[in-house]
Amino acid sequence: MRKRVAPRVSSAVRGHRRIICVTASAALLVPLLIDRSGDVGAPSDQRLQDDYTAAADEFHVPRSVLMGVSYLQSRWDSHAGTPSVVGGYGPMHLVDSLAVKAKKPPSHPNTLPGATTASPPAAQTRVSPQAANLRRAASLLGLPAERLRNDDKANVRGGAALLAAAQRRLGKPFSANPADWWDAVSRFPGTNDATTATTYANDVFDVIRQGAHRTTDAGQRVVLLANPQLRPHAPGTQGALRSKNAECPPELACSWLSAPYVEYDDGDAYGNHDLADRPKDQKIDYIVIHDTEAPLASMLQTIQDPEEASWHYSIRSSDGQVTQHIKLKDSAWHSGNQFVNGRSIGVEHEGFLRQPDAWYTEQMYRNSARLVGYLAKKYQVPLDRQHIFGHDNVPSPTESSIPDMHDDPGPFWDWRHYFDLLGAPLKATAGPDSDVVMILPDYNRNKPKFTGCTSSGTPCAPHGSSAVRLYTEPSEAAPLIQDPGRHPDGDDSTVDVNDLGSRASAGQMFAVADRQNEWTAIWYQGHKAWFKNAQNNQTAVGARARTVTPKAGLDEVEVFGRALPEGEAYPEGVDAEEQAPLPYTLSAGQRYVTTSRVRGTYVDRSTFEPTPAPVVKGEERYYEIQLGHRLAYVRASDVDVQDPPAAAGQSGDTATGSPSGGTAAGSPGQTAGTGMH
């Protein structure tokens, strides 16, 4: 075997200050599942694969280590040269903060009151000088920094040079065994927190152990073969350092920044959340995924203002740092729907839905999945898209509020990847001719046209998306499906990035209404909605799920944005909240997917109190349904429930849980129960 020789590095690198040695290790609870994107009809271009091989050989770094680090940094994507919010470029996400200029993102119609929209200057971002520094890598290579920003091959070489330099500083052997590179890998992102560094390195080595393959955003086919013999790094005995108030999984170093529960306006108002005693007084059913539409520094000011909205957790873009603001037993004001607020946990992600490549980082995705998986397991929240959903999927409580409902995290949030990280991959659970489908496009190949990313009406650059566009007829020349609630004045649906009136999203399930050649129609907000589902570019797969349909003899049934108790359930002194239908109906013969039956509840929070208000619980039951892009509720007394056909080898069906058919063994999000409660 050829002897490994340490490559030469500059004296500046040799003298660079070391990061604090990692002394603790946390068990990795979120397994990497092999990325299946691009498996069918994937491009054969493997130049990036060759670049990893050449750079690994040049700098005597095991190729699996170089590729594993790159996967954690960017999932091997280059983002067409777009820097992240901290100035990270290319497949190795090498940071050049000097190249990032403070810019003001285009104003967003749903930005929270009081939040600013200007991006923070590079100097304000929390980037350690030890981070994967692009300029230091350029110096090692003797190349201009611009080359590493725009040339993927040079970027990969720079990452390999940094790993080699770190291994040399540590006095470690330039071994072919990936395990010998664990310390160098833990230092690559530049974190000064031992727990975070350990989690990062464990993630990289989990990728190497399990392998991965995907087609990148640049059409490059990359394969990392599994190395199951690689032993995990021995976990330490010390857990993550965190605030005593934070409720987080053991491998996350969570901080605490309290939201206020105080009176203002001389006692005429209070904010910014409600005291509760969950799950004793009300079950937690949902976890809502938001993005901030503002830099995190601004949002951390907003969360401390009693006159503003609130949420339970914030997650920083640059490194996935988690901060908790409200105890989970209490109810935050985050979704725009009090019924959903009372049953949910709100998680904000630093970012702008129209700038995904700058903000939606892999570390943010992973730490969010760790957190949400932990919460889902703790509160038995099913791992499906009717229980873990975006702010853009929250039902409007009333017809008048529909135009004001938010639309984050938007069409560029990668739901398929997110559920892979949760250990509950979105996948087919029935054949291609099933009477229910799950929307599931290949994220990188699916690039519907959008406008409004930079200015109103201006086309967005092509980008991977979780969204599938819906038409009134089986033709892309046909008009888009219309949403009378979102456009009450009769305006047409548009392809604006914030207009979700005519699209469905990955993981959502719908009943099939019709099929014609490569087109599939689903029942959507009371109408047939068509989308293209070509054999060589599938945008949906077969699924098994319960559906509801109007009871025999009913021409149509009402649809609601919240499940409220019947009038007689309200005690004396509590005014009954009037149930108001939305401007959609379910007509006879139509079917809609349901994974939950809920009890009507209401909490009266019209005054400031030192103790939780009682929850009014009625006898009326509702089914939560996938009505359109948003969820909705129908009275159980108005509909019949249809079980899916029995799967092969089964004599019948039980209550529907996760649409993926369950979660991976050992996943942090593994839940018990059926999801029908």
At 162, the amino acid letter reads L
Whether omega for the bond prior to residue 517 falls within 30 degrees of 0, making it cis, is: no
pLDDT for the residue numbered 247 = 96
Which amino acid makes up residue 387? H
Residue whose token pair is 């749903």: 110
Distance CA 481, CA 467 (A): 14
What 396-401 contacts at long range (C-beta under 8 Å, 24+ apart), as own/partner pairs, is 396/336, 396/337, 396/485, 396/561, 396/582, 396/630, 397/336, 397/337, 397/338, 397/339, 397/561, 397/562, 398/561, 398/580, 398/582, 399/485, 399/580, 399/581, 399/582, 399/583, 401/336
Taking a C-beta distance cutoff of 8 angstroms, is the pair 48, 151 a contact? no
Q: What is the mean pLDDT of each run of 10 residues along the chain (677 residues)?
A: 38 31 32 39 73 98 98 94 91 87 48 39 41 92 97 98 96 96 93 84 94 93 95 56 84 92 94 97 97 95 96 95 97 97 98 95 95 98 98 97 96 98 97 96 96 96 97 97 89 94 97 97 98 94 98 97 97 93 96 97 90 96 98 98 77 37 33 36
Helices (H) and strands (E) counted in the chain, each on its own, are 13, 28
Q: Tell me which residue range forms the domain holding 216.
A: 11-96+133-224
146 domain-assigned = yes
* β-bridge pairing 273-274 and 331-332: antiparallel
Residue 64 included in any domain: yes
Q: Which amino acid is at 20?
A: I
Q: Residue 234: its pLDDT value, please? A: 59
3-state secondary structure 83-105: CCCCCEECCCCEECHHHCCCCCC
- Secondary structure E strands in 294-399: 313-315, 322-324, 331-332, 344-349, 388-390
Q: For the chain, how many structural domains are there in total?
A: 1
Would 486 be classed as within a structural domain?
Answer: no
Count of alpha carbons within 13 angstroms of residue 648, beta-carbon side: 3
CB 273 within 8 A of CB 335: no
Q: β-pairing, 540-542 with 436-439? A: antiparallel
Residue 491 — left, alpha, or beta (φ > 0 → left; ψ -120 to 50 → alpha)?
beta
Q: Given its phi and psi angles, is residue 195 left (phi above 0), alpha (psi -120 to 50 degrees) or beta? A: alpha
For every residue of 219-256, DSSP letters joined together read S-EEEE---TTSPPPPP-S------TT----TTS--EE
In a domain, 60, yes or no: yes
CATH number of the CATH domain containing 162: 1.10.530
Q: Give dist(CA 152, CA 88) in Å, integer.
A: 13
- Residue 666 is predicted with a pLDDT of 32
Asked if residue 193 is part of any domain, the answer here is yes
Rounded to an integer, what distance in angstroms lies between the CA atom of residue 577 and that of residue 662?
A: 37
State the DSSP H helix or E strand holding residue 621, giving kind and residue range, or none if neither: strand 615-626
Name, in order, each residue with C-beta under 8 angstroms of 370's C-beta and a sequence gap of 6 or more. 29, 30, 249, 251, 252, 668
| E strand or H helix that includes residue 652 | none
Residue 145 included in any domain: yes
User: pTM of the predicted model, to two decimals?
Assistant: 0.86
Residue 328 lies in a domain: no
Instruction: Give a yes or no: residue 156 inside a domain.
Output: yes
CB-based contact 502:470 (threshold 8 Å): yes
**Three-state secondary structure call for residue 389:** strand
